[in-house]
Every structure is written in structure tokens, then in C-alpha cells.
Chain A
Amino acid sequence: MLNKLSPVFLLAAILLAAAIPAQAKETATDNYKAYCMQCHGLEGNGKGVNARDMAVMPRDHTDAKAMSGRSDEMLFKVIKEGGTSISKSNLMPPWAGTFTDEEIKDLVVHLRTLCKCKFGT
């Protein structure tokens, strides 16, 4: 199979691979632990180390009732664009500069495992 690939193609493939920075995608577990946990807490229950003085408490991600009221699209939007994008608190920042879209999608899946819930159930 390999010997059928033209040297030009191989060279192009090598150059392309070198041109793309090796910024591996982070796992949702690690991203949650790095970024979300500071406010949403070690247990994901909204009681993070930053929560003490907040005017609006961070969302409890283990609250199946509240979380099932949010569609996956809405969760994606609030992570990417921040609380104000869905008329919620600006204490929830926009994370567009931190995560790729793919990482945000993975985080939405991760949130569904924390609440053990789906939209509308």
C-alpha cells in the first residue's frame, strides 16, 4: 500500500504534519479539572473554591432537574460565549479563547455524565 503513494504525496504529507502544531486536544476530564472546577467545585456541585462571594452561585452540574432543562446547544453556547449569551450571569466567562469547539462538545458530553441526565428528561 505504502509503495503506491507517490514521493510527492509523501513529502506533502510530511510537510503538512510538520506545519500543524502538535497542540493535542485535552480530555474533557482534564479541562473540567483545570477550568470549571475553580467555580463549579471538586464535586461539580456548584460549590467551588471561588463561589464564596459570588452574587449568583455557579450552576450545580449534578442537579439533574436543572441540567435537563438545558439543551446541548445551549450548554455549548454558554461555555463558548459565557453566561450573558443565554441571559445569565457574567460570572460565567466565555471560554472561546481557551477551548476548541471540539473540546467544548466533549465538555457537554462530560456535563451529561455529571448530571446523569439528558435534555428534556
Chain B
Amino acid sequence: MQRIIFAALLGISGAAFADSGILNKDCVSCHNITGPAAQTLKEAFAKKGPALFYAGNKYRQEWLVSWLQKPQRIRPAGLYYGDHIKIGAKSDEIDAATLKDHVVLSKDDATAVAAELMQLKAHDDLIAKEKIEPGTITKQNGEMNFDKFWGCMACHLIEPEFGGLSGPELYTAGKRLQPEFIASFIRNPQAWEPKTWMPNKDASNGSIQKFVQYFDVLSRESANAK
């Protein structure tokens, strides 16, 4: 009811909010949209796509709309990374032949699906605990905090060509993710995904605020223009 009024107020056709049926038809074979998260490694190894049951607390809606129309790889080694690497000359390498392109949606479908995903709001409690403090950081200090003080570059690309490959690229984190999610996930990754490959590094709140600010700075750079 509320939604109908809201849609009418905005002058948007009610159809944009109706269940398009796409998620259940084309997405649930790879994405968990109901929860709970993987509780065992067996389940975690078998994941074919990231969990989406808390999508509404994680992603920026406008990013979802554009990415679903033009998906580009976020996790350089896919999911589960161990299934997409091979022994290389200097170190293990990504086995690109094993990675598949993501399904592409039309503009209308992407808009409808993004709106539906934004309603999947598991873990409101974790989000409510986060307070994003206003402030900014220089790129240099942000990089120092990320690479040197906390060693986060071990698993994450922080530039298109610099960093680790088992986690999602983070130079795009600011445009993809809600700041409260970023803070909450770093504070306690296991609260979101009990079996995640990301360790809890016990980062102080001050450092967590700096990560959020740093990703925001990076999101304004040209590498993010894609």
C-alpha cells in the first residue's frame, strides 16, 4: 500500500515496484536471496555467486542499475577463488579460461531488479550500529592506512594493477557499496559471512572511518569512470 502511494507520488509507474519474477527465475541458481549465509566451508566452496539476501544494506542502488546492464568483474579470481587459479611461472595465477561473463540485463529489467534487491534488508541491526563520521583523508594517507598499517592490499586490488586477487577489488568500493556496510564488514566480516576468507583484523574505529573516507576519495578517480 505504502509503496503504491509512494510510486504514485513520484509519478513512477507501479510496475517498477512489482515483483518482476526475474530474481527467482534467472538469479537464484547462483545467488542466495533468502539467507542464511553459508555456515560451513562445504557451503562456502559451493557458492556460485555472492549472497544477495542483504543487498539492500550493501549496495548503492544506482550502481546496481548500471552494473547489471554492463557487468564487469569485481572478484579477479571469481568465486570460489581456488577453483579459478593455477600454478604459474612466478606464483599462482588466475585461470581466466575458467571464469564466465555475468548475465546482462536490459535497462528496464536492471531497474526493476535493483529496486527489488534494495528491499532485501537482512542485518539491519548491524547497519544500525555504524556511525559514519564526517571527514576526509588524502589519497596518500588513505593508501598508507590500507597498504602499510593494516596490510589490506594482501587480498584486495586497490588500484586496477596493484594488490591481491582473492577478494573483491576495492578501488571501486566507494561507488558500489554503502558506507555503513563497508564499516560494518571491516569491523566484523564474520557477522555477515561466518566463513568468509576475510579475517577480522580488529581495526580500530578510527581506522575504519579512514577506510570509508579513502574508498570515497578513490571512487572519484578516473579508474572509476568505467
Contacts and interface: CB of A to CB of B under 8 A. Distances in A.
A35 B197 contact: yes
B214 to A, nearest CB: 17
Interface string B197-208: 101111000000
Interface string A39-73: 10111000111111110000000000000000000
A3 B162 CA distance: 66
Contacts of A14: none
18 contacts: A30-B42, A34-B80, A34-B82, A34-B195, A38-B81, A38-B155, A41-B91, A49-B81, A49-B85, A49-B94, A51-B91, A53-B164, A54-B154, A94-B201, A94-B202, A95-B199, A97-B189, A98-B190
Chain B interface size range:
35 or more
Contacts of B77: 49
B138 interface: no
Nearest to B163: A53
A26 B41 contact: yes
B197 A38 contact: yes
Chain A at the B interface: mostly helix, strand, loop or mixed? loop
Chain A interface size range:
20 to 34
B68 interface: no
Nearest to B42: A30
A33 B82 contact: yes
B153 interface: yes
Contacts of A26: 40-41
Contacts of A41: 91-92
Contacts of A24: 40
